[in-house]
Amino acid sequence: MARELKLNLPSADDLFSTQEERDDAKLERVMELSLSEISDFPNHPFKVRMDAEMQEMAESVKQYGVLVPGLVRPKEGGGYEMVAGHRRKMASELAERGIMPCIIRDLTDDEATIIMVDSNLQREKILPSEKAFAYKMKMDALNRQGKRTDLTFSPVGKKLVLCQEKVQVKSGNFQTID
């Protein structure tokens, strides 16, 4: 006697995606992310201070929400790493929002470092020690970009000078970096 076997199989539409759907999945997008999913950038040189300005920002976030999304990148083990927006994240926590709008972008470590430094250097109040550490991080990231690993000898000295000059020009600091 034959028995009827009931299987819950996915439809053909569920099995196959279109090229357009695959392309859309690769685009950066703005999403509301839970603050618990977002970890801070490792060795972030700019400290988030609990001062009067932070209290004002928290009040603004409480009233209007975060108006400018942060920038995060996906982490391998799940969750996201904050690249730009550490102060907005702290203000969201203080305002007890629980979520924050973020642009999700795939970035390498060096790309994330350069964006993190550049997005913070325009701030008005930066300690000289924070600025120096940030420039060092950026210079190291620029140094690693395009480095060939298949050579036994590379003109490191020349490359270091060129990298220092790039950082100096972009920062408006034309003094020698030692």
Q: For residue range 108-154, what is the model confidence (pLDDT) as tens digits?
A: 988 988 888 888 777 667 777 777 777 787 887 878 776 555 444 44
Has domain 25-146+153-171 been given CATH number 3.10.20.30? Answer: no
- The whole-number pLDDT of residue 120 equals 74
Residues in the chain: 178
List CB contacts of 121: < 8 A, sequence separation 6 or more: 131, 134, 171
Inter-axis angle of helices 109-120 and 128-144, nearest 10: 150
What is the residue extent of each domain of the chain?
A: 25-146+153-171
Question: Is the entire prediction scored with pTM above 0.75?
Answer: no
Q: What is the dihedral angle through the alpha carbons of 159, 165, 166, 172, rounded to the nearest 10 degrees?
A: 170
Looking at per-residue confidence, does 64 or 170 come out higher?
64
Count other C-beta atoms under 10 Å from residue 155's C-beta.
10
Residue-wise pLDDT tens digits, 84-108: 999 999 999 999 999 999 999 999 9
- The whole-number pLDDT of residue 70 equals 93
Residue-wise pLDDT tens digits, 1-55: 567 767 776 666 666 767 777 666 667 788 999 999 999 888 877 778 888 888 9
Structure tokens at 106: 């795939």
Q: Is the pLDDT of residue 72 over 90?
A: yes
Q: How many Cα atoms are found within 13 Å in the side-chain-facing hemisphere of 82?
A: 26
- The whole-number pLDDT of residue 178 equals 45
- The whole-number pLDDT of residue 47 equals 79
